[in-house]
């Protein structure tokens, strides 16, 4: 096991009816900005619940944060925050709203010239405004970590950044808020949570048996609960289990003392930036191809995964590795997500060119062996045609 | 799943050499009291490492905190804290030192007459001094929770209390500090961590598949790593895995949204209070007997445990339940812990009388069905003769 530190000061308030707790969680006598997305919170009653819990507070609003929140939109929120002297940010929605709000929290107090420095890692995060969330979409894990990913339209970029000071002060997770989610968002969320775990788990062994089993716990639960999560009418417990899986998948615990991969996410981000594919869709396409491409380097963990997650035993090694990737892809397909670029009308050859050029330009060599470079990306995308 | 909240602000710094981080973790310009136990930290070099990291700080010392720390001893530390105006408590040692120090943290600022009110739940914890730890013995999980158990010699009592404000500000876990531990402390630690998980896991199902698997992750790791943990010379990774298992076993995650048992610990505390048995020994004796006594009420989870933790399949239900208890007891025996009262020269009939009388006197009805009362305790202890 490698040395590590762990500090996660986010308070989680979980369960039906928990939005009412905002009343005591949000600081009094402060100017609060409630941020949200395209307006689904008006339809599912979440907006009303928040307003009711915060009746009498000095509450400002900023709506219209997109899926894959853009720098362009978020800078308008930054202006509002500065103008009104906002002191506390409350993101109400999914991971995109929360990620965007984390950017606002850092950008509003950024001392450099252009806050885009933060996602592009040209400038350091200084002071930040406190952020909290009412999380309505289980997927990103943003509700219990300090990470965020935002996009910039003008340059077709999508980049991530993180800081423990951007951990939400609290996150409220009420599984009932997921009841009105469209099925494609649930599917994408399942894939997102699943691949978050894989990025931390499927590398090479450094003797972390507990973290391995904690990772497998999330994977097995997502697989076993998938049908119930997607069922209509919605089942409370299945949604609750999904929500908690998504949070546990990326609150930092699974990666303690291990080596991380995290090559699939940046490739996926480029697919979103260039082609507008949903985040979960990009992962469903890239990850099985990544597994096949790296099956030798990932062999030990991949055999363990095949056995413990899919119950495979006694097959020849090569067959086990093949099956590990095939069954992962089959799981994504089973829940209704396309796993090939053509299903999204993306030309694989073109995507391979464009995205490997980006990797070359930035000099990126990612993955646990730092060998996912431009050429590797080309192969992985061509194989995902 | 039941509603829950989770807030665990303890910063963990884990790995070899991590004691040197004290330099930046301990607040400057404060009066610090370093607390410790019987002096093992002088032999294993931990004392010197702490002193070196905190050179130049205003550092006071209070040693001699016992295994099963006593009110009598701890009140001397409270006097010292008040006399010197101590502002920060640093516990260096195992769970007993840290538990005792948590008591000091709450007792020093207690506004009632007698701080024994806190463990006996006659008074409320008010303000507390900040506590941190260098944890040298994987077992209690106290390094990442706000709980503590202390004893009172004069009344032969051993009682627990807890408050999130008593969570350590930080805990340093260096697996190398365990290298000099006597084997019996390692054995007791394994049993303690194992039974902590069981108290949260083996109750009745409320649809928490992730938490179940997270619990099984700790159990399986402890079983698989046990021989390596106990090996001489010590193996770094095994000790690291053990240390992290013990922390994860009781940092609150496993019990989120579930129902808890926690009947075995109070019975064990009485065995310690009356007979001086080590905490781990009491659990090894009581828990298998508890499993047999409650096999019908715990049936669903016990069958799951038999299958997932011991790999049992296809046996008749009654045989599976029997085996679940037998194999648990066999695991404790395999690592060298006696599981019967007579092995500790404790007369079961006498213990059953004394301890069931205590339960009767306090009106305790414990366990997930609140049915572990005086009569149940009598049976459980007689069956553990």
Q: Is residue A133 part of a domain?
A: yes
Among candidates B17, B208, B217 on the partner chain, residue whose Cβ is nearest the Cβ of A214? B217
Q: What contacts B242, CB < 8 A, 6 or more positions away?
A: B138, B175, B178, B186, B189, B190, B193, B222, B225, B229
Residues A217 and A280 in one domain: yes
CB contact under 8 A, B213 and A217: yes
Chain B residues near residue A308 by CB distance under 8 angstroms:
none
Residue A106's pLDDT band, with cuts at 50, 70 and 90, is very high
CB contact under 8 A, B210 and A217: yes
Chain A residues near residue B8 by CB distance under 8 angstroms:
8
Residues A209 and A123 in one domain: no
Q: Is residue A316 part of a domain?
A: yes
Rounded to whole angstroms, the Cα distance separating A313 from A385 reads 30
**Residue B144 structural domain:** 11-177
Chain A residues near residue B211 by CB distance under 8 angstroms:
244
Q: Where does a domain end: B146, B177, B208?
A: B177
> Tokens 């938490």 map to which residue?
B211
For residue A324, with 0-12 CB atoms within 10 Å meaning exposed, 13-18 middle and 19 or more buried, which class applies? buried
Q: Is residue B277 part of a domain?
A: yes
Residues A120 and A152 in one domain: yes
Judge contact between A133 and A171, C-beta under 8 A.
yes
Query: What is the tens place of the pLDDT at every residue in B21-46?
Result: 999 999 999 999 999 999 899 999 99
Q: Within a 10 A sphere around the Cβ of B343, how many other Cβ atoms?
A: 13
Chain A residues near residue B210 by CB distance under 8 angstroms:
217-218, 221, 241, 244-245, 248
Residues B211 and B256 in one domain: yes
What confidence score (pLDDT) does residue B42 get? 95
Residues B335 and B235 in one domain: yes
CB contact under 8 A, B3 and A17: yes
What confidence score (pLDDT) does residue B301 get? 98
What confidence score (pLDDT) does residue A268 get? 97
What confidence score (pLDDT) does residue B251 get? 98
CATH of residue B83: 3.40.50.1970
What confidence score (pLDDT) does residue A249 get? 98
Tally the domains of chain B.
2
What confidence score (pLDDT) does residue A154 get? 94
Q: Where does a domain end: A147, A177, A207?
A: A177
Query: What is the tens place of the pLDDT at every residue in A294-334?
Result: 999 999 999 999 999 999 999 999 999 999 999 999 999 99
Residues B38 and B119 in one domain: yes
Among candidates A16, A213, A241 on the partner chain, residue whose Cβ is nearest the Cβ of B221? A213
Find the chain B residues whose C-beta atoms sit closer than 8 A to any C-beta of A.
1-18, 207-211, 213-214, 216-218, 220-221, 224-225, 237, 240-241, 244-245, 248, 253, 256-257
CATH of residue A202: 1.20.1090.10
CB contact under 8 A, A3 and B12: no
Nearest CA in chain A to B218: A210
Residues A160 and A245 in one domain: no
Among candidates B5, B214, B241 on the partner chain, residue whose Cβ is nearest the Cβ of A13? B5
Q: Is residue A220 part of a domain?
A: yes
- pTM of the predicted model over 0.95: yes
Q: Is residue A251 part of a domain?
A: yes
State chain A's mean pLDDT as an integer. Answer: 97
Exposure letters B199-213 (e unless 16+ CB within 10 A, then b): bbbbbeeebbbbbbb
Residues B162 and B212 in one domain: no
What confidence score (pLDDT) does residue A254 get? 98
- Look up residue B144 and give its two tokens: 């990442």
Nearest CA in chain B to A207: B237
Residues B164 and B198 in one domain: no
Q: What angle do CA A348, A352, A354 make, to 5 degrees?
A: 120
Residues A230 and A162 in one domain: no
Chain B residues near residue A213 by CB distance under 8 angstroms:
213, 216-217, 220-221
Chain A residues near residue B9 by CB distance under 8 angstroms:
7, 9
The tens place of each residue's pLDDT in chain B, 385 residues long, gives 999 999 999 999 999 999 999 999 999 999 999 999 998 999 999 999 999 999 999 999 999 999 999 999 999 999 999 999 999 999 999 999 999 999 999 999 999 999 999 999 999 999 999 999 999 999 999 999 999 999 999 999 999 999 999 999 999 999 999 999 999 999 999 999 999 999 999 999 999 999 999 999 999 999 999 999 999 999 999 999 999 999 999 999 999 999 999 999 999 999 999 999 999 999 999 999 999 999 999 999 999 999 999 999 999 999 999 999 999 999 999 999 999 999 999 999 999 999 999 999 999 999 999 999 999 999 999 999 9
Q: Within a 10 A sphere around the Cβ of B280, how many other Cβ atoms?
A: 26
Q: Is residue A2 part of a domain?
A: no
Q: Is residue B159 part of a domain?
A: yes
Strand-pair category, A131-135 with A170-173 = parallel
Q: Is residue B2 part of a domain?
A: no
Q: Where does a domain end: A153, A177, A201?
A: A177
Residues B217 and B307 in one domain: yes
Q: Bridge-partner residues for A11, per DSSP? A: A170
Query: What is the tens place of the pLDDT at every residue in A340-384?
Result: 999 999 999 999 999 999 999 999 999 999 999 999 999 999 999
Residues A170 and A270 in one domain: no
Helix axes A183-201, A209-230, angle to 10 degrees: 170
Rounded to whole angstroms, the Cα distance separating B368 from A219 reads 29
Question: Which ipTM value was assigned to this complex?
Answer: 0.97
Separation of CA A237 from chain center? 22
Give the number of A-B residue pairs with CB atoms closer than 8 Å.
116
């Amino acid at each position: 096991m490698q040395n590590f530190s762990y500090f996660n000061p986010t308070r989680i308030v979980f369960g039906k009816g928990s939005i009412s707790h905002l009343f005591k969680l949000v600081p009094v006598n402060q100017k609060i900005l409630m941020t949200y997305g395209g307006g689904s919170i008006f339809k599912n009653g979440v907006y009303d619940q928040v307003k009711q819990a915060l009746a009498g507070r000095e509450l400002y609003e900023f709506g219209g944060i997109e899926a894959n929140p853009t720098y362009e939109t978020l800078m308008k929120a930054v202006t509002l925050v500065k103008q009104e002297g906002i002191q506390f940010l409350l993101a109400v929605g999914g991971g995109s709203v929360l990620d965007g709000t984390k950017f606002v929290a850092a950008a509003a107090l950024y001392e450099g010239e252009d806050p885009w420095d933060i996602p592009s890692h040209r400038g350091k995060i200084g002071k930040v405004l406190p952020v909290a969330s009412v999380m309505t979409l289980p997927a990103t894990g943003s509700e219990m970590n300090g990470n965020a990913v935002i996009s910039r339209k003008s340059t077709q970029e999508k980049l991530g950044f993180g800081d423990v000071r951007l951990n939400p002060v609290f996150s409220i997770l009420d599984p009932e808020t997921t009841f009105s989610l469209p099925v494609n968002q649930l599917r994408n969320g399942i894939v997102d949570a699943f691949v978050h775990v894989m990025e931390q788990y499927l590398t090479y062994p450094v003797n972390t048996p507990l973290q391995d089993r904690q990772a497998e716990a999330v994977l097995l639960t997502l697989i076993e609960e998938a049908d119930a999560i997607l069922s209509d009418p919605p089942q409370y417990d299945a949604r609750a289990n999904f929500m908690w899986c998504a949070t546990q998948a990326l609150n930092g615990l699974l990666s303690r003392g291990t080596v991380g991969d995290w090559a699939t996410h940046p490739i996926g981000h480029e697919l979103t930036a260039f082609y507008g594919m949903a985040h979960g869709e990009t992962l469903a396409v890239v990850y099985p191809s990544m597994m096949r491409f790296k099956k030798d380097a990932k062999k030990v963990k991949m055999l363990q995964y095949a056995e413990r997650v899919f119950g495979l035993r006694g097959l020849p090694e090569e067959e086990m590795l093949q099956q590990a990737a095939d069954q992962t892809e089959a799981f994504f397909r089973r829940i209704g997500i396309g796993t090939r670029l053509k299903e999204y009308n993306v030309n694989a050859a073109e995507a391979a060119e464009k995205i490997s050029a980006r990797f070359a330009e930035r000099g990126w060599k990612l993955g646990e062996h730092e060998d996912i470079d431009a050429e590797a990306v080309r192969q992985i995308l061509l194989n995902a045609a």
